[in-house]
């Protein structure tokens, strides 16, 4: 999936937030949105590019919570 397509899909999934606003949210809320993106098949690198959140932070978010 191209970054443009990924951005549009992420915007639809994350309403009312824009992907780049996730880093400003409380940790629990942010992690739930990251989990949503992971569950929809976004790669860690795509999530990093879309959100500006660090690779290690994204990787630490577990899928099963």
| pLDDT score recorded for residue 34 | 95
pLDDT, tens digit only, all 65 positions of the chain: 788 898 999 999 999 999 999 999 999 999 999 999 999 999 999 999 999 999 999 999 987 65
| pLDDT score recorded for residue 45 | 94
pTM of the complete model: 0.87
Q: How far apart are CA 43 and CA 49, in angstroms?
A: 10
| pLDDT score recorded for residue 49 | 94
Query: What is the number of other CB atoms lying within 10 angstroms of the CB of residue 6?
Result: 20
**What are 23's two structure tokens?**
């880093």
């Amino acid at each position: 999936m191209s970054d443009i397509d990924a951005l549009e899909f992420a915007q639809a999934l994350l309403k009312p937030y824009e992907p780049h606003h996730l880093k400003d949210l409380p940790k629990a809320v942010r992690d739930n949105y990251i989990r949503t993106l992971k569950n929809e098949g976004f790669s860690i690198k795509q999530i990093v590019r879309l959100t500006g959140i660090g690779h290690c932070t994204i990787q630490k978010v577990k899928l099963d919570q």
